[in-house]
Amino acid sequence: DGHSLDSLSLCAHGDDCRVRVVVILADLHVFRDVKQQELFIGTVRVNSRMDWVILDSAVSQAFKVYIAKVDPTSSLGLSTDSIFSYSMGHIKRVLGGEAPETLPSHCMSQDSTGITLALKGLKEKCVDSLVFETLIPKPMMQHYISLLLKHRRLVLSGPSGTGKSYLASRLAEYLVDRSAREVTTGIAVTFNMHRQSCKDLQLYLSNLANQIDRESSMSESPLVVILDDIHDPASISELVNGALTCKYHKCPYIIGTSNQPIKMTANHGLHLSFRMVTFSNNVEPANGFLVRYLHRKLMESEHESSLTNDDLIRVLDWVPKLWYHLHTFLEKHSTSDFLIGPCFFLSCPITVDEFRSWFIDLWNYSIIPYLQEGAKDGIKVHGQKAGWEDPVEWVRGTLPWPSAQQDQAKLFHLPPPSIDSSSPGQSLEEKTHKETPPSSMESDPLMAMLLKLQEAANYIESPEKEDPSLPKL
């Protein structure tokens, strides 16, 4: 069955019809950057003999099957208990509640969009909806929220691309919802510490502290301040402690993100005011995120042929292995500034042919230059390490799509680094044609993230120096 499941949402003239089931995500009030407010999870069959108890069971089963596909290691902690209610036509049904008089089949109309599920959230004192949206395991999400509610200040630290900024925005959203305050434009403020100075932040926080002390009402001051891309978390924590002199319970929540490992010393008061969460590619939520995200993306394609396409499933299952291989390579040959998280691979296409050309471009014009810079950084910091292995050998040996042998030669090598080495794996003739990435890469979020991380790494080491071999946008 190669039909898009979209076409099957309405009943045919016969008795049996197949109905789309989607999970509706909570509306975002602060960060309205998410276009998609619902996620497709599957279909159920509805007929004239079906009552609400049977439909409850069918909807629950569809959710259970979906979660098993998206979260094969059962790390998220979601189950059929996560479902609060579902709507069909004009009927909203709380699972296990009193059954409506109208049979389910009579609720289907020509303009019906199928069945929409609502998961348990803030009103039910649960985080299931947030876990489903973010793909972060429930125990971890509960831990982050409890740290914030108790200590009001949190730093998320770890490699670029592990989802720290995304999580910060969702935690801020949660805190705003929980506060029940009217949502104004200034209720959550973001400082990008890569673009704004510590002096700007100090001035802002000092003024804010004075404003909070003067006013009896908190309605005008921000509830959450996000400090994104902090270079030195310990000094920022001292700055925040010094500038925010207002009473602790009146201070805004502060959520920081940092790509730098945090070195705790006796002189730094980081542990006194900020709580720290370290993201690592070796553990949850980062190490399982890519598998969950790609499986969800596959389900989102809503194409029966995709869901049963072994070649495509093999390709998608290879991506996390590739990421982890590159992560291991960088751990061995580079520094912590150059580790990459799973978010670098989220833009991968969901067809084998598109994936093939996407990956070859990505490898040659983004990954290889990045690995080269990482290896050069490793030599500067640690000196030459023994046991160099060109990562392209593993990639060529494991390419997952059919007839991949013909593509092996298209993938660039990564020669052992020398401080003054030029662009890798290319002949002089190739270099003249391929100094800059193709224009199709200009809007590639991976490319943007790679350059952002490289820019940060260059800034830390030598603000004046810019490497000419890096691809430019």
- Across the chain, what does the average pLDDT equal? 81
State the pLDDT at residue 450: 53
* Residue labelled with tokens 């279909």: 43
pLDDT above 50 (res 181): yes
Sketch the domain layout of the chain as residue ranges: 16-123, 138-278, 309-410
Over residues 309-333, the mean pLDDT reads: 92
What are the counts of helices (DSSP H) followed by strands (DSSP E) for the chain? Answer: 17, 10
Asked whether the beta carbons of 342 and 286 are under 8 A apart, the reply is yes
pLDDT above 70 (res 188): yes
Enter the tokens of residue 188. 């959550």
Regarding predicted confidence, which is higher, 385 or 287? 287
Regarding predicted confidence, which is higher, 253 or 430? 253
What's the whole-model pTM score?
0.82
Enter the tokens of residue 132. 């489903």
pLDDT above 60 (res 311): yes
Tell me which of 30-39, 395-404, 421-430 is least confident. 421-430
Over residues 277-287, the mean pLDDT reads: 89
CA atoms within 13 A on the CB side of 118: 17
At the fourth CATH level, the homologous superfamily of domain 138-278 is P-loop containing nucleotide triphosphate hydrolases (3.40.50.300)
> What CATH number was assigned to the domain covering residues 16-123?
3.10.20
Q: What is the C-alpha separation between 198 and 195, in angstroms, rounded?
A: 10
Strands (E) in 291-400, as ranges, are none
Over residues 220-239, the mean pLDDT reads: 88
Question: Sorting pLDDT into bands at 50, 70 and 90, what band is 435?
Answer: very low
Residues sharing a CB contact under 8 Å with residue 145, sequence separation 6 or more, in sequence order: 127, 171, 174
Give, for 20, the enclosing helix (H) or strand (E).
strand 17-24
Cis peptide, bond prior to residue 285, ω within 30 of zero = yes
Report pLDDT digits (tens) over 120-138: 999 999 999 999 999 999 9
Q: How far is CA 446 from CA 22, 159, 340, 436, 449, in A?
A: 28, 14, 11, 15, 5
Enter the tokens of residue 341. 């998280």
State the pLDDT at residue 472: 34
Q: What is the C-alpha separation between 60 and 74, in angstroms, rounded?
A: 16
Question: Taken in order 428, 429, 430, 434, is the CA torsion positive or negative?
Answer: positive
State the pLDDT at residue 318: 96
pLDDT above 70 (res 169): yes
